Chain A
Amino acid sequence: MDDLDLLREHLPETHAPSEVAKRRASARLAQAMSDDARRATARDDNQTLVTRLLPLIQRRPRRTALAFATLVAAAAAALFVSAPWNDSPGFLARAEAALSQAGILHMKTQTTSTWTRPDCKVTYSQAEVWVDETPPNTYRVLLNDLPPDQDKAHRRTSACFSGRASEIGGSYRSTQTLRFAPPNTLTPYAIAFRFPLNPAADLREAISAGRAHDEGKTKLDGRTVERIRIDPPPRCPPRFDNCPRDPQYVYVDPETFYPVQFVATTSQVEIVGGPGRSSYSHVRARNVTRYLTFEYLPRTDANRRLTDIRAQHPNATGP
């Protein structure tokens, strides 16, 4: 045994890092990325991170290649709900007042995604969302556009897959999302909404930077609606899988200000594979989401339970 062998024996191999250590390190990296984006954004004419209002759809540790259009739509609605639009004071101020409600936000949406890479068009079944507007903002989502398991699916399969039914729940403050697995189990699931701590403040900054515009009335399927254009941020925050590169459009009811349709083109970095064999590529999609239902329910105990996946499955086993 030479000196190097002895040295290796002297400082022996240790166990692999714990999952907790890895999660903490991942969170530290995310913080560094976030700080970096904040600095970069500040450099760009003090533009704001308006897109932080859109939830990050994030799958870890095995990343989902494709974000869920339904959740994007829900995010868009939530963004709009929180938006104190001010570049058209009359309309936008009234919109803010009408939409900043405390209660249980209930939506039914239907999304059509047109993928530019790969080339396919998919209309998903309806999805339903309940979000408690009071912190910690519990939410529950009935999805029908869950992609196939990424580790087993080709990217094209993922994009053009019309979806699986799934029920997911969590809260904005928690990194743990639960998924209901029939017949009666709740399992941790690596997908989560993420909102900034102070969306209103961030959005006010964004509006003052001039990226939200009321474009006036237009017709949508024969219905008169108001069109809002949201210009993309000068730089996307890190780890933001659905950061918009092009303007997004929200069509709202001019009387209630509730969203009618949301159109967004997303460009995502797709990360597939595991440690040592991961790769990335770009995936683009144009998502058109129609809001079939958009309403605020009173914050009663019964309605709050609608946002709570554990309450919906009180006897389920799991974490």
Chain B
Amino acid sequence: MEPIQPDAECPTLSLSEPQAFELIFERHFVAVHRYLCRRAGPDVADDLAAETFALAFERRASCRTSDTSMLPWLYGIATNLLRRCWRAERTQLRAYGRSGVERAVDHEEEAAARVDGATLHARLAKALEAMPRKQRDALLLYALADLSYEEIALALDVPLGTVRTWIHRARKVAQRVLATETEVPAELATSGDDLHG
């Protein structure tokens, strides 16, 4: 077998040999689908993941890669597509918030812990929901997709400093929400730029 081709070569090659783009699909479909699924649920993820790769193919000439991987760029496309599906994502967040993390509960202490956990998750869900979209995107790319700040900057096509600021603010909000007994702070409840998207 010949050496594995880095992603970076594939978009260039796929301009003349479109089949080469299939490598990108094979390599990254699962990761992109997982990310979308965590954010918006499986039904939306199926559609958006498919759309992500179709769009990526169409825009391959202008793709941005980080070192050898196209994954951050693909996450960026997926994140942009998610904006069209804010309602689905919000529904998913609320569902998570209501259910917390599902675990078997056999004892009273654990049941109590679960209640606390569920409360925590509900608050976190509301915080995410109320967070400005760009901050939420950056935070979730960081937390769920394990992208570095540099990769997030590439994915969202913004300066590195902006990413740092967004994530810092988003984490501050999350920490504050988690540290207090109150609901989402009032100033956050109205700061979501796409709350009604």
Contacts and interface: CB of A to CB of B under 8 A. Distances in A.
B113 to A, nearest CB: 12
Interface string B1-21: 111110000000100011111
Given A17-B30, A275-B26, A239 B49 contact: no
Interface in A8-58: 8-14, 16-18, 21-22, 24-29, 31-33, 36-37
A27 B51 CA distance: 11
Given A36-B18, A279-B2, A7 B46 contact: no
A281 B5 CA distance: 10
A14 B42 contact: yes
A31 B29 CA distance: 16
A16 B29 CA distance: 10
B90 interface: no
A6 B49 contact: no
B27 A278 contact: yes
Contacts of A145: none
Contacts, number: 143
Interface residues of B, number: 50
Nearest to A24: B50
Interface class of chain A by DSSP: mixed
B23 interface: yes
Given A3-B171, A7-B124, A32 B49 contact: no
Contact of A12 (B21, B33, B38, B175): B38
A281 B17 CA distance: 11
Contacts of B128: 7
Nearest to B175: A3
A119 to B, nearest CB: 17
Contacts of A8: 143-144
B46 A25 contact: yes
A13 B46 contact: no
Interface in A192-219: none
Nearest to A16: B30
Given A3-B174, A36-B57, A278-B27, A28 B51 contact: yes
Residue among A10, A26, A277 with the most chain B CB within 10 A?
A10
Contacts of A22: 29, 33
Bin chain A's interface residue count.
35 or more
A33 B2 contact: no
A273 B101 CA distance: 37
Contacts of A14: 34, 37-38, 42, 45
A297 interface: no
B115 to A, nearest CB: 16
B53 A28 contact: yes
Contacts of A31: 54
Contacts of B188: none
Interface string A253-282: 000000000000000010111111111110
Given A24-B50, A275-B30, 16 more contacts: A6-B178, A7-B124, A7-B174, A9-B101, A11-B140, A11-B143, A12-B101, A17-B45, A22-B33, A29-B50, A36-B57, A61-B26, A154-B1, A238-B19, A239-B19, A273-B4
Interface of B: 1-5, 13, 17-23, 25-27, 29-30, 33-34, 37-39, 42, 45-46, 49-51, 53-55, 57-58, 96, 101, 120-121, 124-125, 128, 139-140, 142-144, 171, 174-175, 178
29 contacts: A3-B171, A3-B178, A4-B171, A7-B139, A7-B143, A7-B144, A7-B174, A8-B143, A10-B125, A12-B96, A12-B101, A14-B38, A17-B29, A17-B30, A18-B46, A22-B29, A25-B46, A27-B50, A29-B53, A32-B57, A36-B18, A61-B26, A63-B22, A241-B19, A269-B17, A273-B4, A278-B23, A280-B19, A281-B2
